[in-house]
Copies of this chain bind each other. A is one copy, B any other.
Amino acid sequence: MHKIEADVQISLLEENRKYAGENREFLREHGVVSFNLMGATGSGKTMLIEKTADKIGEKYRIGAILGDVAGDDDFKRVKKHGVKAKMVNTGKECHLDAHFIHHAIEDFADVDVLFMENVGNLVCPVDFDLGEDYRIVMVSVTEGDDVIRKHPEIFRLADAIIINKISLADAVECDVDTMIRDAKRLNARAPIIKMDLKKEIGIEEWIEWFVDAVERAKKLKGV
């Protein structure tokens, strides 16, 4: 029983790796810089795409593959901000995988930047490479100030960490300094951006990191 489960898991990850590699090749060939955007439901992932498009949609053509268990709410939202979007319903799956992306990606050869908005979950997406350039992890203060240390792997491997809804910290009795300290213990490479998207806090800092990351990735791709 144990043996069989282990074998299934390995072959799943190997298959995922194959598709992730093909996705990465496709994105490089077309000079697309991609971001695997992870975080719990309600952490603000979709709004981050909207605000980014509002700020920088003139500079970069932005695309988004929106993963959700069901529904097309996110799809309708980002379209209004000029984002080229595609919905991926994962059904029972609690994360995007490279095969889902593989099906969706062909439509995005003409964008500069592609967001892959993962399913709301801080555990399952960690193991599944999508073929992205960067991994962004978002949390909201409403998730509690122990949320980061409870999910070490996803924060350890992040390229940028966003703590959203900071204006609500006092109301929900969340100690943001604790979250920041936990994040810094797990990761010294990623900026930790305090944000409140609805109040336009932290967006400038995000855009500064984002543009720098896009330009570095473009240089590596030879774009």
Contacts and interface: CB of A to CB of B under 8 A. Distances in A.
A132 to B, nearest CB: 7
Contacts of A144: none
Interface in A81-132: 129, 131-132
Interface string A175-190: 0000000001111111
A39 to B, nearest CB: 19
User: Per DSSP, are chain A's interface residues mostly helix, strand or loop, or mixed?
Assistant: helix
* Most chain B CB within a 10 A radius of its CB, from A129, A131, A134: A129
Interface string A156-188: 110100000000000000000000000011111
Given A2-B2, A17-B152, A152-B17, A189 B159 contact: yes
Chain A: interface residue count, which band? 20 to 34
B186 A21 contact: yes
A217 interface: yes
A185 B21 contact: yes
A51 B189 CA distance: 24
